[in-house]
Structure 1
């Protein structure tokens, strides 16, 4: 399910993105999965936010770096950067991080979020 919502709060409307069981504010803030807030370091959180925004499409290694750090890296360095952040994300959300069902590797491209 791909839903974008606006929620009123005391500071005005907040744009919310919901993809499957992931929920996040479009402008940042916490990311929720299965109703619980995901606690991640800032770079890993930025990578997860990029995956949520683009789900179910794949996000390239380079795009994950751009979203997390605001810089461009070559493909090899970007792949290495993404690997460590995705490992951290999988540890936080996957029932079995060694057999992921949520954050899926797309060989030669990057990663995608399974939101079905």
Structure 2
């Protein structure tokens, strides 16, 4: 097998710690070799309980998590991780249905890749997620929009002074929308701008919009802020935000 990798990204994401959770020995070995060649440190867990122990002890920068695991499956591992950390999670799944893929995103995975997959593609996905989640400095000043304050350097968003608990992708999505208020974007636009993909499963955007609504809307089932623009996509409605901010004062 040819294990040469594409050139390193210019962003400094090397030497980061990856927790690889995979019970299939051959897959785990190949993926681990690719990650090590790419300059990452790799911890390996073969079951869900060990994964949670290693995540707590080693504080990884990213978790690659198999969907099907002995003892505690990947969905439950991701759910438990999300109670204590916003570490980026890329889920590996051999399940082909859309519902199975979406379930991982709904419990907090930032990305997923379907088996069988190219290890080269997985490394590129890891670099893409890390570039965004580990960004330590941004020349952009804070953005204030109707009660929201976006601090790009700290990768933090507050609303009325209260910090929002966001995963890496939720932060990126909200940050993009806060920078472009009142503009409607298609799911294709968002997957390119936020995920950095030229193509991909658009349900990824749908699920992240749904999760983000649960954190910023009074009634996520009837959103006033992050609105659906029928036939187009989504829009962050600053007028609604302003009204909500005025009402809270």
Both structures adopt the same fold (TM-score exceeding 0.5)? yes
Which blocks of at least 5 consecutive residues in structure 2 are unaligned? 1-136, 240-249
Give the equivalent residue in structure 2 for 1:73.
Answer: 199
Larger Rg: 2
Q: Distance in 2 between matches of 1:15 and 1:27?
A: 8
> 2:209 is matched with which residue: 64, 79, 86?
86
Normalising by structure 1, we get a TM-score of: 0.75
Give the equivalent residue in structure 2 for 1:46.
Answer: 172
CA displacement at 1:64 relative to structure 2: 1.7
| Alpha-carbon spacing, 1:86–1:35, altered in 2? closer, same or farther (3 Å) | same
Corresponding pairs, count: 102
Give the equivalent residue in structure 1 for 2:236.
Answer: 113
Give the equivalent residue in structure 2 for 1:6.
Answer: none
Q: Distance in 2 between matches of 1:28 and 1:111?
A: 26
Give the equivalent residue in structure 1 for 2:188.
Answer: 62
Counterpart secondary structure, 2:194: helix
Give the equivalent residue in structure 2 for 1:7.
Answer: none
1:99 aligned to 2:225?
Answer: no
Is the Cα–Cα contact under 8 Å of residues 155 and 171 in structure 2 kept in the other structure? no
Which blocks of at least 5 consecutive residues in structure 1 are unaligned? 1-10
CA shift digits 1:48-77 (9 cap, x unpaired): 111111001112212221233211226xx3
Higher RCO (C-alpha 8 Å, min separation 6): 1
Give the equivalent residue in structure 2 for 1:5.
Answer: none
| Alpha-carbon spacing, 1:95–1:61, altered in 2? closer, same or farther (3 Å) | same
1:19 aligned to 2:145?
Answer: yes
Q: Distance in 2 between matches of 1:20 and 1:38?
A: 15
Normalising by structure 2, we get a TM-score of: 0.38
RMSD across aligned positions (CA): 2.2
Is the Cα–Cα contact under 8 Å of residues 50 and 59 in structure 1 kept in the other structure? no
| Alpha-carbon spacing, 1:18–1:39, altered in 2? closer, same or farther (3 Å) | same
Runs of 4+, deviation exceeding 3 Å? none
